[in-house]
């Protein structure tokens, strides 16, 4: 620290930096690693005092996984995440995010709040380009739900993930993993699972969402994912949608947590020293609605290849896509027609045009 801080090193005696340099040269990377690891282990609580929202899971090789169930718009969930990471000093932190949503970790609360409230044509085009027409529209409708909650509460989503990212950076040798299935896969599978009328019904319900939400309502939703509960209340139960958006992601999240919980290798002083492995400590940060599914799948042999595949579009999807395109082009054509009609009427009503038409009429009558 003295070497890194210009103010402290300038006030130090002349032989100070030399002494620091000689000490640092005598400590190898492996020794420094061991010292930091020992400090981390001393700070790690053997019997951590964990919030009631934490579920503890064990692996066959002795690793421990602490799953923090959160409400995505909750201040208390942020505190639960911070306390859990500080208490257990994990080797890995896994969050319910994928690479398509990782940007929310680096954005400040004010920017996120603004972004979440603004749903414009540019975002729609980006969603369609990334996910296709149907999945892009579905993503925008669900973003509308999220924007509605954001506007009602004045709170940006994903606060618990940002807290997890900050706290993980403070823990020595702690890795940060994205544990959720890529969102384009989820939406494409969700669209493929719905019939034509289910898609219409779902879109209708999401388009006309306007019920007020309080912070107390959010805290009550700790027993179920907020978006899932709102969708169920608005438009009834969708078993196929629940399967693709919740149940399949339960399997994916469980798989990623188990991958993160593999034993870790201890540092070695030299290449000749035998490798030693110890059980890992993992903290998972997921929506409360996923916790029961993770517990259910924990001791099962999981294969995620099937839930990562995107089925070909069904006949109903093609019909719905055609209807959407026909509607859009029809509205555009009608708009152009109305604009053109009004333009012609406006030009004909001008005095110069009236005079010109009168002259043409007179010329035709003479011939």
pTM of the model: 0.70
What DSSP state is assigned to residue 264? E
242-249: long-range contacts (C-beta < 8 A, 24 or more apart)?
243/193, 244/186, 244/189, 244/190, 244/193, 245/186, 245/190, 246/289, 246/290, 246/293, 247/293, 248/181, 248/186, 248/189, 248/307, 249/180, 249/181, 249/186, 249/290
In degrees rounded to 5, what are phi and psi of residue 324? Answer: -60, -50
Closest CA to 211 of 138, 157, 158, 151: 151
Distance CA 164, CA 78 (A): 8
Domain positions in the chain: 45-312, 318-360
pLDDT tens digits in sequence order for the chain, 367 residues long? 333 334 333 344 444 444 444 445 567 776 787 788 788 888 888 889 999 999 999 999 999 999 999 987 778 899 999 999 999 999 999 999 999 888 888 777 677 666 655 665 566 666 666 666 556 666 666 666 666 666 666 667 788 999 999 999 999 889 999 999 998 888 888 878 777 777 777 666 656 555 666 666 666 554 455 555 554 554 445 677 778 888 999 999 999 999 999 998 876 666 787 888 999 999 999 998 899 999 999 999 998 999 998 877 656 555 656 666 666 556 656 556 556 555 656 565 666 666 666 766 776 666 6
């Amino acid at each position: 620290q003295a070497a890194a801080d210009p103010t402290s090193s300038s006030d130090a005696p002349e032989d100070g930096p030399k002494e620091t340099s000689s000490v640092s040269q005598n400590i190898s990377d492996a020794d420094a690693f061991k010292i930091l690891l020992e400090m981390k282990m001393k700070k790690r609580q053997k019997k951590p005092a964990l919030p009631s929202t934490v579920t503890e899971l064990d692996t066959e090789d002795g690793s421990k996984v602490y799953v923090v169930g959160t409400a995505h718009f909750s201040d208390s969930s942020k505190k639960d995440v911070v306390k859990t990471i500080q208490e257990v000093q994990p080797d890995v932190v896994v969050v319910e995010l994928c690479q398509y949503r990782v940007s929310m970790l680096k954005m400040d609360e004010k920017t996120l709040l603004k972004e979440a409230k603004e749903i414009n044509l540019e975002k729609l085009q980006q969603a369609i380009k990334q996910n296709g027409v149907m999945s892009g529209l579905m993503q925008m409708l669900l973003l509308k739900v999220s924007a509605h909650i954001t506007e009602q509460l004045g709170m940006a989503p994903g606060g618990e993930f940002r807290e997890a990212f900050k706290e993980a950076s403070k823990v020595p040798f702690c890795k940060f993993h994205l544990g959720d299935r890529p969102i384009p896969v989820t939406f494409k599978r969700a669209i493929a699972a719905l019939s034509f009328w289910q898609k219409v019904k779902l879109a209708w319900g999401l388009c006309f969402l306007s019920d007020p939400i309080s912070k107390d309502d959010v805290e009550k939703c700790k027993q179920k994912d907020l978006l899932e509960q709102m969708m169920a209340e608005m438009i009834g139960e969708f078993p196929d949608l629940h399967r693709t958006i919740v149940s399949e992601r339960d399997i994916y999240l469980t798989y990623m947590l188990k991958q993160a919980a593999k034993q870790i290798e201890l540092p070695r002083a030299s290449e000749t020293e035998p490798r030693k492995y110890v059980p890992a400590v993992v903290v998972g940060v997921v929506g409360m609605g996923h916790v029961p599914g993770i517990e259910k799948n924990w001791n099962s042999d999981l294969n995620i290849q099937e839930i990562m595949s995107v089925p070909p579009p069904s006949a109903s999807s093609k019909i719905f896509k055609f209807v959407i395109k026909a509607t859009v082009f029809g509205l555009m054509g009608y708009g152009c027609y109305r604009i053109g009609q009004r333009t012609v009427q406006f030009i004909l009503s001008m005095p110069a045009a009236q005079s010109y038409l009168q002259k043409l009429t007179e010329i035709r009558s003479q011939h």
